[in-house]
């Protein structure tokens, strides 16, 4: 009898030895990445970076970590503010370390799990390699990854957090980038009124103006701003003309003349939070954007063919049509996303 | 008897509890005991002079004087051929080397090959396109994109490794914002989305001495890498005209030149 008792104990011990430290009951149940039913399959390589709560949380901490910059002043979240749809609201271009000015408008960080390329020029095609660019950029964070690794190793919390996420205290480029990617791919914005209408949630319906705007959108805008992400991720010259800094756009990556002044088509989601617009933030509001397309498109050498269909370049839009389009664009705002506490700095 | 049974059950259970915790990493060790070490030495020179960082003074084919501050380049995808035509390709994961003039230890690319006599050596100057798009977990060591800015060998904004980096000063170069007459050549480009400057170089070892890879020895294939060839060959490069070339079309001509820098001097067997 005694011996049998021993055996049971031993067996129990064997099981315990293998299970990871039994987790304390979490306050909230962690929701991993979920594809919204009206979205396509994501593009991110989850097979090499499966989402876990510990990695996601480490990623969030790193996203808001000013130690990623040379003088510990600028974090990713400095120029990608949640309440601004993860852009730098009110800034045409952003200021980085020592208030040095960048040259492009901070893009919205959302639905990156579906992103096939990143930045206005699409120079990076693997999300894991994206953070290296702003970190190294002298006008953004002006820091080297090696220095960051040194700082994180000396930090009282990070070695433990890396151990919790990856199984050991080792901190390297791969782990930092994988954790940051986890936070970024989880930033899914798919709860706008548009999404609810498409998913037939709660019997949500477009108003008359929104429905007219949607119909017009489908014929006049969807050629570039493809649903449901509202970008086809192509590079196009939309006839705004070069700005004062003569940013060559996609040409900087491909060095092909036909790519000069082309920029990646941005999503139209969350525009209520992400002004100003365009790669250099030149349009302060959506009225100015629509005015551009209706009246001010320049016949530039690489102007997109979709903007050259009429007698004059652009998309003819009456006042009523603009107002309907604006009504539709408002249905793409996802308030839940910009208020989601899981994505906030102080969670 | 009963005691023995209990004891063996105990032992078995203990063993099981350990076995069940073991990670599945007991892969069969590669047959490395059949492989022997071999090194390839990249000895940087400029024409008739040994390359000396900062202090050495050289003249290029365009007649311009120059000194070198930084010279580093990637060597990868090494393979060796025997006289009978059989080729041994070094497993790719062990076949990336960053040669840096500032660190003498990096001048040797150390590999392991089966025993035999090798008559020809092939390698890539640069990093193959496939590795450029691999998961970060397969890009550690010299391939870690974290390399840094000054001596880094990675362009973050276009995800490309810099294959060849040569920087120095020359009275022919214009004064830069820091007040220095510098030239800077950072050559890369793996074909996507711009041009391809990956160069595969094959060197015949017969004239300089074949490499005899044997147990207990480390044959060393001693190559001379002549930087003066970077400035001439397909194109004679003028520092005055081209003080800075990075991801630019002109780099294609520079890459055509640098493919011919390598010469086999001798082999130490």
Give the Å distances, CA to CA, from B223 to A67, B42, B218.
44, 5, 16
| B159 → closest Cβ in A7, A126, A254 | A126
Inter-chain CB proximity A253 and B195 less than 8 Å: no
Residues A163 and A176 in one domain: yes
Q: Known binding site for heme c: residues of A? A: 76, 79-80, 221, 224-225
Asked which of A188, A218, A236 is the last residue of a domain, the reply is A188
What's the pLDDT at B158? 85
Provide the chain B residues 48-107 that lie in CB contact (below 8 A) with chain A.
Answer: none
Quote the CA–CA distance of A166 and A186 in Å, as a whole number: 18
CATH number of the domain residue A329 falls in: 1.10.760.10
Quote the CA–CA distance of A88 and A78 in Å, as a whole number: 8
What's the pLDDT at A21? 45
| Residue A31 resides in a domain | no
pLDDT in tens, A44-60: 999 999 999 999 999 99
- Percent of chain B's residues with pLDDT above 70: 86
Residue numbers in B near A258 (CB within 8 A): none
pLDDT higher than 90, residue A143: yes
Residue numbers in B near A6 (CB within 8 A): 10
Residues A184 and A197 in one domain: no
Residue numbers in B near A174 (CB within 8 A): 136-137, 139-140
Residues A103 and A222 in one domain: no
- What residue in B sits closest to A18 (Cα-Cα)? B21
Residues A209 and A298 in one domain: yes
Quote the CA–CA distance of B192 and A122 in Å, as a whole number: 12
pLDDT in tens, A212-266: 999 999 999 999 999 999 999 999 999 999 988 999 999 999 999 999 999 999 9
| Residue A327 resides in a domain | yes
Question: Please, where are the H alpha helices in chain A?
Answer: 2-18, 53-63, 76-79, 132-136, 145-154, 158-166, 173-185, 193-198, 208-220, 251-254, 271-274, 286-291, 319-330, 335-339
pLDDT in tens, A253-278: 999 999 999 999 999 999 999 999 99
Inter-chain CB proximity B136 and A178 less than 8 Å: yes
What's the pLDDT at A2? 55
Asked which of A172, A188, A204 is the last residue of a domain, the reply is A188
pLDDT, chain B, mean? 88
Residues A64 and A105 in one domain: yes
| A128 → closest Cβ in B13, B136, B193 | B136
Q: Using DSSP bridges, classify how beta strands B182-188 and B244-245 pair: parallel, antiparallel or unpaired.
A: parallel
Give the Å distances, CA to CA, from B78 to A91, A104, B41.
50, 42, 13
> Is the CB of B8 inside 8 Å of chain A's CB atoms?
no
What's the pLDDT at B52? 95
Residues A158 and A244 in one domain: no
What's the pLDDT at B99? 96
Quote the CA–CA distance of A218 and A227 in Å, as a whole number: 9
pLDDT, chain A, mean? 91
In terms of residue numbers, what domain contains A204? 193-336
Quote the CA–CA distance of B63 and B232 in Å, as a whole number: 11
What's the pLDDT at A173? 96
What's the pLDDT at A98? 83
Cα B104–Cα B108–Cα B109 angle in degrees, nearest 5:
140
Quote the CA–CA distance of A341 and A186 in Å, as a whole number: 13
What integer is the mean pLDDT of A3-15? Answer: 51
Quote the CA–CA distance of A164 and A54 in Å, as a whole number: 6
Residue numbers in B near A128 (CB within 8 A): 135-136
| Residue A81 resides in a domain | yes
Inter-chain CB proximity A145 and B145 less than 8 Å: yes
Residue pLDDT tens, chain B, 269 long: 445 444 454 444 444 444 444 444 444 444 546 899 999 999 999 999 999 999 999 999 999 999 999 999 999 999 999 999 999 999 999 999 999 999 999 999 999 999 999 999 999 999 999 999 899 999 999 999 886 666 789 988 888 999 999 999 999 999 988 899 999 999 999 987 788 999 999 999 999 999 999 998 999 999 999 999 999 999 999 999 999 999 899 999 999 999 999 999 999 99
Query: How far is A152 from chain B, CA to nearest CA, in Å?
Result: 15
Say if pTM beats, i.e. exceeds, 0.80: yes
Inter-chain CB proximity A123 and B158 less than 8 Å: yes
Asked whether the beta carbons of B249 and B195 are under 8 A apart, the reply is yes
What's the pLDDT at B265? 95
Residues A141 and A159 in one domain: yes
> Is the CB of B16 inside 8 Å of chain A's CB atoms?
yes
> Is the CB of B136 inside 8 Å of chain A's CB atoms?
yes
Inter-chain CB proximity B159 and A10 less than 8 Å: no
pLDDT in tens, A324-336: 999 999 999 999 9
Q: Using DSSP bridges, classify how beta strands B116-125 and B211-213 pair: parallel, antiparallel or unpaired.
A: antiparallel
Residues A271 and A230 in one domain: yes
- Percent of chain A's residues with pLDDT above 70: 92
What's the pLDDT at B12? 45
Query: How far is B238 from chain A, CA to nearest CA, in Å?
Result: 22
What's the pLDDT at B17? 44
Asked which of A166, A188, A210 is the last residue of a domain, the reply is A188
Using pLDDT thresholds of 50, 70 and 90, give the confidence band for residue A20. very low
H helix or E strand, kind and range, residue B251: helix B251-258
Residue numbers in B near A129 (CB within 8 A): 136, 145, 156, 159
| A45 → closest Cβ in B14, B21, B135 | B135
- Work out how many CB contacts closer than 8 A connect A with B: 90
Is the CA virtual torsion B72, B78, B80, B81 positive or negative?
negative
């Amino acid at each position: 009898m005694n011996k049998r008792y021993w055996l049971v104990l031993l067996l129990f011990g064997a099981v315990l030895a293998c299970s990871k430290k039994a987790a304390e009951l979490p306050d909230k149940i962690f929701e991993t990445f979920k594809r919204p039913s009206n979205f396509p399959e994501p593009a991110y390589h989850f097979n090499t970076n499966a989402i876990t709560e510990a990695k996601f949380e480490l990623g969030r901490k790193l996203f808001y970590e000013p130690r990623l910059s040379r003088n510990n002043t600028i974090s990713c979240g400095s120029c990608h503010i949640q309440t601004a749809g993860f852009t730098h609201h009110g800034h045409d271009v952003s200021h980085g370390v020592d208030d040095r000015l960048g040259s492009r408008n901070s893009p919205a960080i959302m639905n990156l799990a579906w992103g096939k390329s990143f930045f206005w020029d699409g120079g990076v095609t693997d999300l894991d390699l994206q953070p290296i660019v702003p970190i190294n950029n002298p006008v953004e964070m002006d820091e080297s990854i090696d220095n960051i690794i040194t700082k994180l190793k000396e930090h009282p919390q990070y070695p433990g957090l890396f151990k919790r996420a990856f199984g050991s205290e080792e901190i390297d480029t791969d782990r930092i980038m994988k954790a940051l990617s986890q936070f970024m791919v989880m930033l899914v914005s798919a709860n706008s009124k548009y999404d609810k209408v498409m998913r037939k949630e709660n019997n949500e319906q477009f108003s008359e103006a929104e429905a007219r705007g949607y119909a017009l959108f489908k014929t006049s805008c969807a050629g570039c701003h493809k649903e449901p992400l509202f970008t086809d991720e192509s590079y196009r010259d939309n006839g705004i003309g070069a700005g004062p800094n003569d940013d060559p756009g996609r040409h900087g990556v491909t060095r092909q003349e036909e790519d000069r002044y082309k920029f990646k088509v941005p999503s139209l989601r969350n525009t209520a939070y992400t002004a100003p617009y365009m790669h250099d933030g030149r349009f302060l509001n959506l009225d100015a954007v629509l005015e551009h397309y209706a009246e001010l498109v320049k016949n530039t050498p690489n102007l997109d063919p979709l903007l050259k269909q009429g007698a004059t370049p652009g998309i003819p839009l009456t006042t009523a049509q603009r107002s309907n389009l604006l009504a539709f664009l408002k249905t793409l705002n996802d308030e839940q996303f910009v208020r989601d506490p899981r994505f906030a700095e102080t969670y | 008897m009963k005691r023995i049974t209990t004891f063996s059950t105990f032992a078995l259970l203990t063993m099981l509890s350990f076995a069940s915790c073991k990670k599945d990493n007991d892969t069969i060790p590669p047959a490395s005991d059949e492989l022997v070490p071999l090194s390839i030495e990249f000895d940087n020179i400029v024409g008739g002079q040994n390359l000396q960082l900062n202090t050495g003074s050289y003249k290029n084919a365009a007649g311009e004087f120059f000194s070198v501050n930084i010279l580093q380049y990637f060597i990868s995808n090494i393979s060796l051929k025997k006289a009978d035509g059989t080729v041994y390709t070094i497993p790719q994961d062990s076949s990336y080397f960053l040669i840096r003039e500032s660190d003498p230890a990096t001048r040797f690319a150390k590999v392991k090959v089966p025993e035999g006599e090798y008559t020809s050596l092939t390698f890539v100057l640069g990093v193959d396109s496939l590795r450029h798009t691999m998961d970060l977990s397969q890009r550690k060591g010299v391939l870690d994109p974290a390399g840094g800015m000054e001596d880094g060998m990675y362009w973050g904004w276009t995800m490309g490794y810099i294959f060849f980096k040569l920087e120095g000063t020359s009275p022919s170069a214009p004064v830069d914002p820091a007040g220095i007459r510098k030239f800077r050549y950072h050559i890369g480009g793996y074909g996507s989305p711009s041009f391809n400057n990956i160069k595969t170089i094959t060197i015949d070892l017969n004239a300089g001495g074949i490499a005899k890879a044997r147990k207990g020895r480390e044959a060393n294939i001693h190559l001379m890498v002549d930087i003066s060839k970077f400035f001439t060959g397909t194109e004679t490069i003028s520092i005055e005209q081209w003080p800075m070339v990075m991801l630019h079309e002109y780099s294609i001509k520079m890459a055509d030149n640098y493919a011919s820098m390598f010469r086999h001097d001798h082999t130490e067997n």
